[in-house]
Structure 1
């Protein structure tokens, strides 16, 4: 029971912690020895297996690990670099970073300049606590970034090919392991998530050949998969299929709005690079690296953990499109006009648990892949009752959280039509009951 508390202390000090469980009872051991013709002294010991390796970048906060100490994301980042000879494009990076507590993967590939500007911005926006790279791969410029900006992160070099997989091996393993199988039985039914599928070659219908501009990105994903396999969390995280393509903030992919004004055609967000974030002390101060005295500390009055994470991303890439900014200002005005409802909603939001992390936890517990061949499925837990109660409590807490969200929607229901802000209408109106509504109606699921 104390494992979660003590392991977290070691993990925060950058140690790796392996959890070993007994995977058979003394009775099972006796039966096994009887079935053997000449059991050795080593056979006459109950079997034990490593069920989990926990590092700073691979914490999932399962029922055994205890609760998270903070709400902000801790990323595991893997990257691969390729130097270019073409003028203006000095290098190319393939990156994959994941918040293992939520199970969301970001995969991307991009060109960078000789100062590694985009790479610096990436590590400032999504600060990794652990970094994986291919031995002998990073250039001297990238090593400088790792040494200066990321000296506090754990940095681990992996062997080329055997540990840091190439793109073809990554796609082959993803297909063979059946991570994305829909019903948990038929491996032929496995379909790659759309983001990964888009990175494969169009001419290969099986999805086993990488696309022209995705080799480095898929290789970086391969390193992440290898490392999670080593830590025994690959099945529970990859089976969620929660992938998003990472596009550097200064590449504007958003289609311009129908308006012909200059602002409608410009980027939707400002580019705050790593140097700017540091100099302006937006996320952490220059004295001791904490949030004390920063803009984030000043603005962060969020009630929910996932709200705190979203605000941090907003601060890293603030809006610069007047239409979107005015819509947010309208949202503030709309909410200020209904102070009684606002305070009632605020009290409800304070009750919300960290739904993002809880959903990932519940998915892990119910994962069919994990129940088939993971060492945890064989583990003999002598405190099983306590852990089962924790699992039930987490599940009920999640359901209660969704009920609270439903209450928030119902409180705001009669005010939605009076709102000027489009974003507020989208967030607070039900999808089926309002033309602009985007919130799903979960009432039938919650009543079951």
Structure 2
């Protein structure tokens, strides 16, 4: 920092920044979030705001920029779109009642997979954060949408099946063990997810016994048998690490993750990414939009929840005859019950996105 005059406030900023070196730090000062030093130099052009400096008369003025608190979410969204993480640091005491430096602490970390603001989310699509763990030639993976409470896990020894599944899930962010930087099999599985942000966490977060305990404590159960986790040790490791990451970024327990869905990719019709793309199931070949796709034709859902569920059903065709007939029976009942169907659709118009 050269000869920068380190005031108590800057000292506090640097102390907090040291614990969040991989994030742009939004440091609350009154009605603004300020950014300093390299964060300011990095963020200013992305946010299209002026880069100024603090203590301009000093030999080494501190670069800075800021955004209004009231408009912060839109600016955070711009940074997230570019792949940055944002640590939001709030004043944790009333400045008027403080005798000295106002206490501050990071209250949440926003990452591409950790978005809860509806304005930053696509209403008809899920925003997944996904973790992977590789052990004994088996890749376990777990993913969650913290805006809806969806939490799933699976695993497979078939690298191609895992790769195709990851492409179907299309996560916004990957959570990987530090050791995976040299794991060719794991890196191969995620190689096609070039647009997903990557976060590396300590390998200890994936340790099975710790991950298992973390999940049972979260769900307040003695075991995970009720979720069908038997035989999914790599998946459990991935899920436990993912839960730790969610809790850490949100700075609180993820109590809205109330269940864990365990599934096997072999229970659904396997379609690779090329097949899904060429069939234009959910994205068209022209620009990746919904128009002209099978989803675009079929989606007459009243709610965003329905649209997201329909999208998942199209990407995961059933194989079980019983499940197929059960769904067909439900469709037939809705088709034949014209009056009931119209009444349900009318009532759904007043229902908001309850999942979010």
Aligned counterpart, 1:122: 165
Counterpart Cα distance in 2 of 1:151 and 1:23? 38
Work out whether 1:146 is the aligned partner of 2:190: yes
Deviation, 1:152, is: 1.3
- Distance in 2 between the 1:59 and 1:129 partners? 10
Write the deviation string for residues 402-439 of structure 1: whole angstroms up to 9, x where unpaired: xxxxxxxxxxxxxxxxxxxxxxxxxxxxxxxxxxxxxx
- 5 Å-filtered alignment, 1:328-339, equals 328-329=327-328, 331-339=330-338
Q: 1:167 to 1:354 in 2, by over 3 A?
A: same
Q: 2:141 aligns with which of 91, 95, 101?
A: 95
In the alignment, is residue 191 of structure 1 matched against residue 232 of structure 2? no
The equivalent of 1:169 in structure 2 is: 210
Q: Structure 1 pair 192/109, CA: closer, same or farther in 2 (3 Å)?
A: farther
Q: 1:79 to 1:342 in 2, by over 3 A?
A: same
Shift of 1:96: 1.2
- 3-state DSSP of counterpart to 2:98: helix
| Equivalences for residues 19-168 of structure 1 within 5 A | 19-26=88-95, 28-30=97-99, 44-61=100-117, 68-82=121-135, 91-112=137-158, 116-137=159-180, 139-147=183-191, 149-161=192-204, 164-168=205-209
Structure 2 gap segments, 5+ residues each: 1-69
Cα distance in 1, alignment partners of residues 324 and 238 from structure 2:
36
Cα deviation, residue 338, structure 1: 4.6
The match for 1:243 is 260
User: Contact (CA 8 Å) 2:134, 2:140: kept in 1 or not?
Assistant: yes
TM-score, normalised by the number of residues in structure 2: 0.69
3-state SS of paired residue (1:128): coil
Aligned to 1:5: 74
Name the structure where strand makes up a greater proportion of residues: 2
Mapped contact 2:167–2:193 kept (Cα < 8 A): no
User: 1:195 Cα shift?
Assistant: 4.9
Partners in 2 of 1:337 and 1:197 — Cα distance? 35
Looking at structure 1, the residues matched to 163 and 336 of structure 2 have their Cα atoms a distance apart, in angstroms, of: 42
Q: 2:122 and 2:132 mapped to 1: Cα distance?
A: 27
Contact 2:140–2:154, Cα closer than 8 Å, also in 1: yes
The TM-score normalised by the length of structure 1 is 0.56
Whether 1:218 aligns to 2:232 is: no
Aligned to 2:65: none
How far apart, in 2, do the equivalents of 1:270 and 1:198 lie? 21
Change (3 A) 1:45 1:97: same
Q: Return the alpha-carbon distance in structure 2 between the equivalents of residues 195 and 278 of structure 1.
A: 37
Aligned counterparts of 1:281 and 1:144: Cα–Cα separation in 2: 25
For residue 101 of structure 1, report the CA deviation from its aligned partner. Answer: 0.7
CA deviations on 1:266-309 (whole Å, 9 max, x unpaired) are xxx53333342123221223443333332222221211111111
Name structure 1 gaps, 5 residues minimum.
31-43, 84-90, 181-189, 200-210, 252-268, 358-448
Deviation at 1:92, TM superposition (A): 0.7
Distance 2:225 2:303 in 1: 29
- 2:326 and 2:226 mapped to 1: Cα distance? 34
Distance in structure 1 (CA, Å) of the matches to 2:286 and 2:197: 21
Cα distance in structure 1, aligned partners of 2:351 and 2:294: 25
The total of aligned residue pairs comes to: 286
Structure 2 partner of 1:379: none
The structure with higher relative contact order (CA 8 Å, sep 6+) is 1
Cα gap change, 1:278 to 1:28, in 2 (>3 Å): same
CA distance 1:97–1:45, change in 2 (3 Å): same
Aligned residue number for residue 353 of structure 1: 352
Partner Cα distance (2:176, 2:284) in 1: 28
Aligned to 2:302: 303
Q: Residue 297 of structure 2 aligns to a residue in which SS?
A: helix
- Asked whether the equivalents of residues 99 and 105 of structure 1 are also in contact (C-alpha less than 8 Å), the reply is yes
- Equivalent residues of 2:177, 2:206 under 8 A apart: no
Residue 245 of structure 2 aligns to a residue whose secondary structure is helix
